[in-house]
Structure 1
Amino acid sequence: MAERWTAAQVNSLAPDAPSQKAGAKLGIPGPWSGTGYQHSGRLLWGDCKGSGSKPYQVTVSVADSDTAYQCTCPSRKFPCKHALGLLLLWSAGTVAETETLPDRVEAWSADRRDRAEKSAARSAAKAEKVAADPEGAAKRAAQRAERIGNGLADLDRWLTDQIAAGISDSATLSLTAARSSSRDRWPDAVLAEFARLHLLCQAWSRLTDLPPAMQDTVRRRVGISVDTDAVRRDGERVSDRWHVLGTRDRAADKLTERRVWLRGAESGRIAMLLAFGAMQQAPALALPVGAVYRAEMAFHSEALPLRAQMESSEIDLDRDIAAPGGGTLHTAADEFAAALAVDPWQEGWPVVIAGAVPDRRGELADAEGGRVPLICEETALWRLLAVSGGHPVTVFGDYTDAGFEPLTVWSEDTVVAL
């Protein structure tokens, strides 16, 4: 039976520190009216008094692995402070349960079900089309592969020309990005990126000579999407109790990319869930950091199987949020090196560091004396320092060749998303 979330797990969903603080102010009964919670549908709703004459109507789905929000406020943050406040009110046990849904909540839930059914129908129709005309599907796939091959060949020639002519005066966007992120080391960063691109071009030209799993990796790296139905049908399945380690949102073009990392309690496997949201919309995937799910993961076929899809799941929350077991920075470096040996385009590796102490210089030290630079915004660094208070903490993040990007920190019974 699914339980209510803890306040820490609700706070982990906040898009930033100001939203978390504003949500906490609304996590009391005062501004709320018409609240309710339907356990069978895992639906939560309420009206929050605002500055206008009409209250903001808030609706939240807290279904396992299917969290979603709706609020009539004009905020572009997801979840907004009103959704966070309602979730905090619910986590405190002050929202009464009922099986009767308001009309607006019923309409919202029905619309979400309808969209999910239409999406499933489109996937089924696509699969039927491929099954009905396998020769046509194979022909279209071959044509696409030829276009990709031609494009990569052009890219490889461009890379060769850049190296031959020298890269100091290049005005490409890739160089600009590398300069801004690597400061004085931008030539090294550019050459490393060029090398990875060249390797990818060469791998595509020799695709049929590679092992099947590496072929799938190369296809994904060049941008060929994976059929989710095929993953459900053919992917490796692992059932476990999955601990949500951390999440990260990044804006890409007109989309928001959300990555969620989990680790199996028994298998020790790391799973990375990926979701996208359109402009000004949150990705549908929202798992509270620190939560534990009894779930089955279907892993994508790759040389380094990390990406997965969460199938049947049931949240299994522990009121005492325990920090996950972690290793040292030396262990993290070894794990990242092993990952690169398998997938040379891997930009980082998710790791948990135990006994870590951050400092104001922007470095992270472990119990063995190892140190790495921290890659994060100043606000995230100060939050990490505040939680640590100079004492050892457990930190989850992405270990890269440039340093460590912290995403979550545990201290005693507190978990904070950075």
Structure 2
Amino acid sequence: MTDHLLELSPDAKTLEAGRRLFYSRRWRLLGGDGNWLWGEFDYNGRRAIESAVQVVEGKFHCSCRARARPCAHGLALVFLLKNNADRFTVGQPPDWVRSVQHRALRPVREVKNESMADDRLAARIALMSEGIDELELRLLDIARRGIADTQAQGADTWLAMATRLTDAKLPALAGRVRRLADQPEEAAEETIARTLGDLYLFVRAWHIRDEFTPDRRDELYQAAGITTRRDELLQRTGKSDHWLVLGTVQGEEDRLRYRRVWVRGERSKRYALLLDYVFGRAPFEQSWPLSASFNGAIHYYPGSYPQRGIFPEPRPGGRPYDGLKGYAGFSDMLGNYRRALGVNPWLQQYPVYLDDVRPIKKGQQLLLVDSAGGALRVHPDYGGFYRLLAVSGGRPMTIFAEFDGYRLRPLSLLTELGLVDAEQAEI
């Protein structure tokens, strides 16, 4: 529930300020009643700043003078709820909060609310369009000067480019550009060329987005960083099934920790990506143990090729999972991947379950080879290749992996003990 509140931040600067205030010790009288959160922020001994948040509807109130709304104080309360809820005391609100609640209950025409939401979305898209126009100019400039010349200017070139995209509320694109600054030298030019090509495809698609179907346009917006709110997702029909946890990836970017969890439906044979974010060392809300199974409905984000979803009410599976079968070789896998990419060209990761593949090292290349002799490279982020090589002993294996269109990143493998983490498998 807290994620959609953080998405209401007017800009990255305010969100960062809210994150800093989350760590402050100046908060006092933190409380909540299940519907509202409130707190007073001690401002250098002066009259405390009074801030309150209506959690479900996303209404913010604050007595500070900041022009941006929601302000950093309100966002800090959301961070506190998300990461340190024990600091709140459940009870009756103080008088100033009751006054805020009373004003919030005044009747407002629903049409006006929808108009305001449309205005906010239109303003954000206008800002994003400005950022995308600037991105296009930068991409054309890089094409004229060449990748090598751009690389010679150092990592600051990519970081400055990423910062401008963040300011334009394009966090997903900013993340892809920021990662170019950390590429190993031997793979940098190849990775940069692919990323710049993907970005230019996105730019051209953005310019003709009005010609897209609603599902295709939703996927484009998700790739840009506009996500559907959780309450809207819950109104969509969920896909009920018996889901198996096949693999997990965790990482961190700019103090924001992320977790990708892949699950597969027993009856539907559909995969779902459960993506979570937390700040600092805060724990993730839900635990998804590898090889555990859960019953319940996953609500997919809108799109012509739905992949990401939310799993609001998982229940323990309580029985063995059946029907897991992998690709016999890379040919069928690549065929399905190309079809998926034709439907949704913004796929960053594609889940694959592979039978009869062997890890081999050929010169400096780390590869997975199928029974027909086809080979695909292993992703450089995978750090367990030599352990995988030892576990295999030259024999074929069954592996679950992410595919980015070029390389495979093993996440789990099937052994006599069942599914085990691909980076921690016992030799």
Fold shared, TM-score > 0.5 on shorter chain: yes
Q: Give the direction of change, closer, same or farther, for the CA distance of 1:179–1:368 in structure 2 (3 Å limit).
A: farther
Partner of 1:22: none
Displacement after TM superposition at 1:325 (Å): 1.5
TM-score of the aligned structures, taking structure 1 as reference length: 0.65
Higher relative contact order (CA 8 A, sep 6+): 1
Alignment of 1:36-51 (within 5 A): none
Q: Displacement, 1:166?
A: 2.5
Match in the other structure for 2:278: 277
1:215 corresponds to: 217
The correspondence of residues 303-314 of structure 1 with structure 2, limited to 5 A, is: 303-314=304-315
| Comparing 205-214 and 188-197, the one that deviates more | 188-197
Task: State how 1:109-188 maps to structure 2 within 5 Å.
Answer: 122-126=55-59, 131=110, 133-170=113-150, 171=153, 172-173=157-158, 177-178=179-180, 181=183, 183-184=185-186, 186-188=188-190
The DSSP-based 3-state class of the residue aligned with 1:231 is helix
| Distance in 2 (alpha carbons) for counterparts of 1:196 and 1:208 | 20
CA distance in 1, matches of 2:33, 2:361: 48
Flag structure 2 segments of 5+ consecutive residues without an equivalent. 1-31, 38-52, 61-103, 160-176
**Does 2:226 match 1:224?**
yes
Q: Structure 2 residue aligned with 1:193, among 170, 192, 195?
A: 195
Of 356-365 and 258-267, deviating more is 356-365
CA distance in 2, matches of 1:291, 1:407: 15
Matched residue, 1:12? none
Q: Does residue 373 in structure 1 map to residue 386 in structure 2?
A: no
**Distance 1:165-1:139 versus aligned 2 partners, 3 A rule:** same
Residue of 201, 204, 207 corresponding to 2:206:
204
Using the TM superposition, give the Cα deviation of residue 296 of structure 1 relative to its aligned residue in structure 2, in angstroms: 0.7
CA contact (8 A) 2:245 2:264 kept: yes
What letter matches 1:168 in structure 2?
A
Aligned mates of 2:385, 2:358 — CA distance in 1: 12
Determine the structure 1 residue equivalent to 2:392: 388
Assess, with a 3 A threshold, how the Cα gap between structure 1 residues 231 and 288 changes in structure 2: closer, same or farther: same
Query: What do you get for the CA RMSD once the two structures are aligned?
Result: 2.9
CA change 1:138–1:176 in 2 (3 A) is: closer
Change (3 A) 1:207 1:193: same
Measured at CA, do residues 413 and 130 of structure 1 come closer, stay the same or move farther in structure 2, by a change above 3 Å? farther
Distance 2:408 2:219 in 1: 24
Q: Does 1:350 align with 2:351?
A: yes
Against the structure 1 CA distance between its residues 222 and 179, is the aligned structure 2 distance closer, same or farther, given a 3 Å change threshold?
closer
8 Å contact from structure 2 (residues 266, 323) kept in 1: no
Task: Sort the Cα spacing of 1:332 and 1:126 in 2 relative to 1 into closer, same or farther, 3 A.
Answer: farther
Per-residue deviation, residues 298-333 of structure 1 (Å, max 9, x unmatched) = 111012200011133211245x78893111222221
Cα distance in 2 for residues equivalent to 1:168 and 1:231: 44
Any conservation in 2 of the 1:376–1:406 contact (CA below 8 Å)?
Answer: no
Quote the Cα distance in structure 1 between the aligned partners of 2:400 and 2:338.
18
Q: Which amino acid aligns with 2:253?
A: A
* Cα distance in 2 between the residues matched to 1:412 and 1:265: 21
Q: CA deviation at 1:217?
A: 0.9
Percent of residue pairs bearing the same amino acid type: 24
Structure 1 gaps of 5+ residues are 1-113
Change (3 A) 1:231 1:349: same
C-alpha distance in 1, partners of 2:344/2:263? 20
Question: Is 1:406–2:410 an aligned residue pair?
Answer: yes
Distance in 2, matches of 1:166 and 1:139, equals: 40
Task: Write out per-residue CA displacement over residues 353-379 of structure 1, whole angstroms, 9 at most, x where no aligned residue.
Answer: 012222345221222322211124574
**Residue 342 (structure 2) aligns with:** 341
Q: Is the 8 A contact 1:240 1:264 kept in 2?
A: yes
Contact kept, 8 Å, 1:257 with 1:283, in 2: the verdict is: no
How many residues are paired up?
A: 303
* Residue pair 1:256, 1:282 contacting (<8 A) in 2 also: no
